[in-house]
Structure 1
């Protein structure tokens, strides 16, 4: 099946996978009978050629007539759509699969020119499930950066330190090594919300969750790891939860291998938590965020959350997948415990990519 992607590589994981370079402006990428092509400007041609030397570049000015279209009075937006149609016609594309994010304006313009488009998101997800060597190295670099942040948090934690101050400490530790956008620093009852953050002071005995998903600047790949800390003596219930979370984590790591389904891993976690009396997704409690209310993890790569899933519908793992495993227990008004690791699925099992102490 021929394919088309209309995007930039900063925001589109589908296109960043095909053209592994940071290209700010949107362009049309396509494949016809295995031949890759793209509409490119002189500003980006060298970067694209370095990233994909096999790709045929169609220059928007000299080959596709963008300048003449604009000089002739056509608005820039319509002219760029015309350029995309001309590229498809030049390459003989009459039918193609597109991702779900394909722009509606481009789709309607191309369809009006007789090009049939099929949305096939599964195709594009499958194309980037197995990480390239460069992507895997990027994930490892992002993971090391996150570990710098976790270590800085562990060393800085003290009574009275605010979560706002801790966020600044974590960011300063991570940013020299990777790009850190949003992340979670939560304490007390806020740790039961999942992705919620706190701003106020850290209280002895209460959980503090630091969840980081920095992005490698070179490859655009992410990691996703988290730890739960406590200043001083932890609440006995938090200690019990933490031990159970680690038990579930270790069981999942031992069970990971190609062919195992994400939903099987999730079911094993539910079995263990339910045996200890906790609600789960499949046996909910009175509150939505209570017990083990989440998936066990997810794929990680050019998106923080991508295939394969480790929830109730999780698909079979493949060698080359990178996944997070993140058992989580919580109770509204009290708090939560989360420990998250990043893992490469190998031919024989799981290779742990993260390496930071799991102690409270």
Structure 2
């Protein structure tokens, strides 16, 4: 808790050494923290401030987990507004000695008033539902860019009834103890939605999609290792998700989930501290190359370096003053002759 504000920051670290289950979540050749893990972090944050409902959570950037080293995590909880709502944001940065900038991965709102779902999954399989073939489902998903390892290969059976999908998912025996560490293990919640990826098993979907926006998420029970799942339409491009335990008792409910396609290009620029832009240097043999590269009348100005032994502050000021004077002179058309001014620097970064 912050000393001078009604706010809180939760901190931690992620790595494949301490959370090896993350390595089983591969997407388009990269190891990503699953979107369900951001939900787990936000719900856990809500527990700290008495908020039992994740009203919304929008995922802004994937979090790529490196093969070596760790990632520092912060979950920031804002002050309560008059209705008791609080903002929640999830950040990360490299855990190495050369800490990079913080990246915001998710942002949302915590609230109160979670309600127990009215739907009932105690009758299982659902009456009148038609079974969907799930054998080979993960081979199909692999072709679409999902590199799910054993912990995430939880889909055991699936059914369809009208526009609703049903599934039974489970963690492998080796991960059952791990389930007790979470409200709902992110790998298990991720697997709960795999039936929507394969739909009826026709394999007509071609794109790789990831969760984008979650609405009205409530955790009703913790520590489940086997789930019953119902997925239904919640409007255009969104679904509702109801998750129950092996006896049909509610575990988690999602009012609406929207997913969006993702590409390799989007992921390769989304590493910890990464961005959409990068500096790329192209070698230039000499300024004369510029002058002779088809730019008529170019004036080439090579910026001098700060002399050896010169006070850095005095030297930098002198160099900058010289550049300013030269540019001002060129703008005054004293020597431009109508051509461009090419300013050449070396070791400037």
The normalised TM-score by structure 2 is: 0.22
Query: Which structure would you say has the larger Rg?
Result: 2
- The structure whose residues are more often helix, as a share, is 1
Higher relative contact order (CA 8 A, sep 6+): 2
TM-score, reference length from structure 1:
0.21
**Between structures 1 and 2, the one with greater strand share:** 2
